[in-house]
Amino acid sequence: MKGKHLNLHERFYIEKRIIDGVTQATIARELGLSRSTVSRELKRNTDPAFHGLYSCRRADTLAKARRLNKSTRDAFNQQTPQTQDFIRKELALHTSPEVISGRLRHEFRTKLIWVR
């Protein structure tokens, strides 16, 4: 099942089985997943704020936040190398993303006006 994201029901099942003391390998077998999927889920989505305990709801929130951040990375990677360099330099100077975005919009408009 390459590329499949766990849903809240699967995370709930993992949480309950971990509380019952069942091994990760057994949980993986019961869900039809690889052991590494369950291991990775527990590693990535166990929030230290929960004192090392796995919470299915918190795990779901963390996973969704990571997916949203991925779309931001993808948007950055679609920019030209010059734009990426500009963004990196501005971030290194601690310029806020909002200010950088505004500058880029202004530059783009200026270039369009110049071309016309």
Exposure b/e, 1-31, CB count within 10 A at least 16 = b? eeeeebeeebbebbbebbeeeeebeebbeeb
pLDDT tens digits for 32-55? 999 999 999 999 999 888 888 999
Listed by start position, the domains of the chain span: 1-78, 79-116
Rounded to 5 degrees, φ, ψ at 20 are -75, -10
Per-residue pLDDT tens digits for 67-99: 877 766 677 778 888 888 888 899 899 999 889
pTM: predicted TM-score of the whole model, two decimal places: 0.59
Quote the pLDDT of residue 7: 94
- CA separation (Å) from 65 to 36, 61, 84, 89, 107? 21, 6, 23, 26, 31
CATH number of 1-78: 1.10.10
Residue 18: its pLDDT value, please? 95
